[in-house]
């Protein structure tokens, strides 16, 4: 499938042809109350008119993304986005949602029944062939499990039904069965949506700054542009590690989330930091990711994990732990892989900016995401989460089965600010992981940025790919 960053009905420029002219800020610095757990930082839908604030003069200089395209921040408003979406796209149906859940459960149970009954020595005599077929089983079950994960994610956003109770019960059951702390993740994920692309507040795949990258490498900041490139094998090794342990590591240590916990308004972040033993995780009600009022929900999330873990312990003792490893735990690793891959590629691309708080607002942050294409797997098994993510960041309460139509509606509004990379379908999606890992190592201001433009950051790398890092004189 061809790459498309075009406005519907217009010419289709290449992915690298994302030319941006200087524009003034005209959108609000907060998100509408689209999340399931509104906070004081939310803006009610009744006050959307406040989104149309008067433009202020901007002095950005020349902003250049990693591909060398000139960039400027979006100049439309959240009201423009919502007004463009047909009203029926906002309608949610619990019945339709449960039918999709039933479909995914049928996929899971039928696949298990087929392999359990027929991938046996009586039907498949060669042990190596049986092993290979069980490998196919784990891959398929990982996809089907990810589909259920996506529907639980819909519940967390209130996109499953009109009833919050139905959403939370359904999401809690589905996520707990996949060893995900439902309410804990729902709260932190809501904060991610309210601060997407914000270097100081985002909760997912916050890139390193140039200073942080230099510190990590034990180098001086001005040396980064002169360092030898990483070996491709090193990039691949780090990518595999990310895919294997990225999700549990995020839940346990908040890796890739922001590390400004001292600013937590209740003081729960004092002395706490990301990383092992830093006190920042998704399981402790005292974590700075949450507020005191969230404690019961965090405990309820933990209870769901205890119940799921107890069920798995019973099954392991009854049927054997090696069997359970194949039936559940290897597919669980596949689910983790897809979650990390999807999230990484939704927020990491050479075309995407990041913002310091001074220049961030909700409209800009939501546009700092990208749609991709995963073919039949993405659109059917993963419920379109890969292909309609930009729309999801603007209006997360739209159910996935209406997301394609709503995405088509907002593209003309976004114009040149809409990002997509659909080249190669499923295999292009996989290849994009490696490309983004090579090209997107840290963020820094453009070399010719001035004034407010220094608060808008773009990916750079030391691999000689795309726009080169800025030359900084030694101090």
Per-residue model confidence (pLDDT) at position 474: 72
List the single range of 44-58, 74-88, 178-192, 193-207 with lowest mean pLDDT: 44-58
pLDDT digits (tens, 9 = 90+) for 264-276: 999 999 999 999 9
Q: Given pLDDT bands bounded at 50, 70 and 90, which one contains residue 475?
A: low
Structure tokens at 324: 């359970």
- Which pairing describes strands 420-421 and 63-64: parallel, antiparallel, or unpaired? unpaired
Per-residue model confidence (pLDDT) at position 469: 94
User: What is the pLDDT averaged over residues 214-234?
Assistant: 85
Per-residue model confidence (pLDDT) at position 56: 53
Output the pTM of the full model: 0.85
Cβ distance 7 to 418 under 8 Å?
A: yes
Q: Does 246 or 39 have the greater pLDDT score?
A: 246
pLDDT digits (tens, 9 = 90+) for 429-457: 999 999 999 999 999 999 999 999 999 99
What whole-number distance in Å separates Cα of residue 138 and Cα of residue 146? 12
Helix, strand or coil for residue 121? coil
β partners of residue 372: 421
- Which pairing describes strands 456-460 and 442-445: parallel, antiparallel, or unpaired? antiparallel
What whole-number distance in Å separates Cα of residue 68 and Cα of residue 15? 12
Give residues with Cβ within 8 angstroms of 176, minimum separation 6. 182, 301, 304, 305, 307, 308
User: What is the pLDDT averaged over residues 216-220?
Assistant: 84
Cβ distance 296 to 236 under 8 Å?
A: no
What whole-number distance in Å separates Cα of residue 92 and Cα of residue 225? 50
Q: Given pLDDT bands bounded at 50, 70 and 90, which one contains residue 37?
A: very low
Structure tokens at 452: 């407010």
Q: Does the structure show a pLDDT above 60 at 44?
A: no
What whole-number distance in Å separates Cα of residue 323 and Cα of residue 177? 18
- HEC string of 291-312 equals CHHHHHHHHHHHHHHHHHHHHH
Give residues with Cβ within 8 angstroms of 357, minimum separation 6. 198, 199, 200, 201, 455
What whole-number distance in Å separates Cα of residue 403 and Cα of residue 387? 9
DSSP at 322: H
Task: Provide the b/e sequence for 41-59 (b: ≥16 CB within 10 Å).
Answer: ebbeeeebeebeeeeeeee
N-term to C-term CA, the chain: 49
Per-residue model confidence (pLDDT) at position 398: 98
Q: How far is the CA of 127 from the CAs of 76, 116, 132, 326, in angstroms?
A: 60, 15, 9, 15
β partners of residue 354: 457
HSE toward the beta carbon, residue 258, CA cutoff 13 A: 25
What whole-number distance in Å separates Cα of residue 49 and Cα of residue 28? 10
pLDDT digits (tens, 9 = 90+) for 357-395: 999 999 999 999 999 999 999 999 999 999 999 999 999
Per-residue model confidence (pLDDT) at position 59: 82
What whole-number distance in Å separates Cα of residue 109 and Cα of residue 111? 5
DSSP at 294: G
Looking at 157-181, list the stretches that DSSP marks H as alpha helix, in order from N- to C-terminal side: 164-177
Per-residue model confidence (pLDDT) at position 20: 34
Cβ distance 72 to 227 under 8 Å?
A: no
Sheet with 456-460, side-by-side order of all strands: 353-355, 456-460, 442-445
What whole-number distance in Å separates Cα of residue 204 and Cα of residue 195? 10
What whole-number distance in Å separates Cα of residue 312 and Cα of residue 354? 41
Q: Does 207 or 229 have the greater pLDDT score?
A: 207
Q: Does 27 or 252 have the greater pLDDT score?
A: 252
Q: Does 473 or 365 have the greater pLDDT score?
A: 365
Cβ distance 80 to 92 under 8 Å?
A: no
Q: How far is the CA of 255 from the CAs of 228, 247, 273, 305, 359, in angstroms?
A: 26, 9, 10, 21, 24
* Burial status of residue 105 (CB atoms within 10 A of its CB: 0-12, 13-18, 19 or more): middle
Per-residue model confidence (pLDDT) at position 224: 83
Concatenated DSSP letters of 345-403: HHH--TT-EEE-TTT--HHHHHHS--EE--HHIIIIISTTTTTSHHHHHH-TTS-GGGH
What whole-number distance in Å separates Cα of residue 167 and Cα of residue 172? 8
Per-residue model confidence (pLDDT) at position 46: 34
- Residue written as token pair 């290897």: 330
Cβ distance 248 to 254 under 8 Å?
A: no
What whole-number distance in Å separates Cα of residue 459 and Cα of residue 475? 23
pLDDT digits (tens, 9 = 90+) for 298-355: 999 999 999 999 999 999 999 999 999 999 999 999 999 999 999 999 999 999 999 9
């Amino acid at each position: 499938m061809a790459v498309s960053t075009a406005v519907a009905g217009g010419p289709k420029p290449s992915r690298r042809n994302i030319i941006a002219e200087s524009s003034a800020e005209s959108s609000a610095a907060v998100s509408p109350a689209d999340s399931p757990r509104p906070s004081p930082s939310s803006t009610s839908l009744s006050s959307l008119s406040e989104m149309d604030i008067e433009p202020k003069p901007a002095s950005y200089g020349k902003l250049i993304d990693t591909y060398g395209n000139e960039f400027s921040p979006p100049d439309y408003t959240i009201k423009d986005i919502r007004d463009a979406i047909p009203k029926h796209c906002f309608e949610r149906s619990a019945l339709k949602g449960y039918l999709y859940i039933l479909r995914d459960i049928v996929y899971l149970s039928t696949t298990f029944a087929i392999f359990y009954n027929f991938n046996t020595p009586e039907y498949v005599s060669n042990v190596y062939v049986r092993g290979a077929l069980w490998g196919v089983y784990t891959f398929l079950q990982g996809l089907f499990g990810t589909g259920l994960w996506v529907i639980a994610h819909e519940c967390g956003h209130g996109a499953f039904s009109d009833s919050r109770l139905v959403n939370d019960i359904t999401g809690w059951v589905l996520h707990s069965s996949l060893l995900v702390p439902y309410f804990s993740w729902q709260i932190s994920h809501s904060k991610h949506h309210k601060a997407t692309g914000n270097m100081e507040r985002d909760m997912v795949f916050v890139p390193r700054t140039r200073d942080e990258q230099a510190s990590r490498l034990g180098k001086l900041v001005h040396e980064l542009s002169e360092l030898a490139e990483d070996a491709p094998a090193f990039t691949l090794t780090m990518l595999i590690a990310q895919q294997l342990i990225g999700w549990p590591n995020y839940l346990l240590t908040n890796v890739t989330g922001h590390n400004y916990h001292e600013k937590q308004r209740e003081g729960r972040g004092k002395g706490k930091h990301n990383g092992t033993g830093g006190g920042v995780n998704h399981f402790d009600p005292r974590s700075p990711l949450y507020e005191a009022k969230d404690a019961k929900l965090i405990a309820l999330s933990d209870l769901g994990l205890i119940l799921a873990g107890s069920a798995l312990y019973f099954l392991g003792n009854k049927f054997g732990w090696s069997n359970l490893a194949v039936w559940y735990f290897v597919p669980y690793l596949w689910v983790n892989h897809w979650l990390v891959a999807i999230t990484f590629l939704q927020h990491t691309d050479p075309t995407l900016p990041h913002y310091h708080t001074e220049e961030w607002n909700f409209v800009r942050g939501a546009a700092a995401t990208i749609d991709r294409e995963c073919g039949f797997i993405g659109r059917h098994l993963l419920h379109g989460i890969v292909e309609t993510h930009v729309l999801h960041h603007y209006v997360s309460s739209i159910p996935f089965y209406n997301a394609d139509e709503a995405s088509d509606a907002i593209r003309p509004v976004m114009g040149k600010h809409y990002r997509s990379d659909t080249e190669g379908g499923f295999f292009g999606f996989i290849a994009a992981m490696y490309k983004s890992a090579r090209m997107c190592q840290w963020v820094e201001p453009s070399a010719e940025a001035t004034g407010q433009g220094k608060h808008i950051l773009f990916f750079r790398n030391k691999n000689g790919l795309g726009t080169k890092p800025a030359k900084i004189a030694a101090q």
